[in-house]
Chains A and B, each alone.
Chain A
Amino acid sequence: KAGVTQTPRYLIKTRGQQVTLSCSPISGHRSVSWYQQTPGQGLQFLFEYFSETQRNKGNFPGRFSGRQFSNSRSEMNVSTLELGDSALYLCASSARTVDTGELFFGEGSRLTVL
């Protein structure tokens, strides 16, 4: 069974640009969550999608958005990039239906904003 795949793995952008990150969950998983990880703030929850609907949202500005497609693949977008957006963005999928179960993480997309 293929794991969670995130693309791209590394990317460099400049301030003001926008970026789109992609996540393909494990086959059959309908829940996809996104996290931002920085050395100073640790692992911060961005949002969770389940069957194409955003089910939970973290405390991030509206520049951060996401969506989930009918095949459960998910994308997140960050517009008007700021230096502070430099981070490892992690996607995780879960077979969860009601409560939170085991999360399966991808290797992450490392974003550097110059």
Chain B
Amino acid sequence: SQQGEEDPQALSIQEGENATMNCSYKTSINNLQWYRQNSGRGLVHLILIRSNEREKHSGRLRVTLDTSKKSSSLLITASRAADTASYFCATDDSNYQLIWGAGTKLIIKP
């Protein structure tokens, strides 16, 4: 079953703008991870945030986690054409199994 639900399903913005994607989940988690997938390729790990963390940064990426609302957001600042991809959140539940969302398709227009 899918636990993570990304929002929006698709997002199209101009190069240079910021992109924000959200992920909601249902049960308690150990950690939440974000991955990027370029069309038809394997997924690439972006960032992992643990349940006791509230915010994490990695380059142009900022991830927040609100365990009371069971939600997370991924912010990509100063977007580039190369950021065009699908973005997935995955939650590590108490069974140490990753549960994946359906993804947000991000398109960066030049």
Interface residues of A (CB under 8 A from B): 4, 33, 35, 42-45, 48, 56, 59, 88, 90, 92, 96, 98-108, 110
Contacts and interface: CB of A to CB of B under 8 A. Distances in A.
Question: Closest 9 A-B residue pairs measured CB to CB?
Answer: A105-B42, A100-B92, A43-B100, A42-B102, A105-B43, A102-B45, A107-B42, A56-B97, A99-B30
A48 B97 CA distance: 9
6 contacts: A44-B100, A99-B92, A100-B92, A102-B33, A102-B48, A107-B41
Contacts of A35: 100
Nearest to B98: A100
Given A56-B97, A100-B92, 10 more contacts: A43-B43, A43-B100, A44-B100, A56-B95, A56-B96, A92-B42, A96-B96, A100-B97, A101-B48, A108-B40
Q: Which of B1, B31, B97 is packed against the most chain A CB atoms within 10 Å?
A: B97
A103 B100 contact: no
Contacts of A45: 97-100
B42 A108 contact: yes
Contacts of B92: 99-100
Nearest to A100: B92
Contacts of B48: 101-102
B44 interface: yes
A103 B45 contact: yes
A104 B43 CA distance: 8
A56 B95 CA distance: 9
Interface in B11-47: 30-31, 33, 35, 40-45
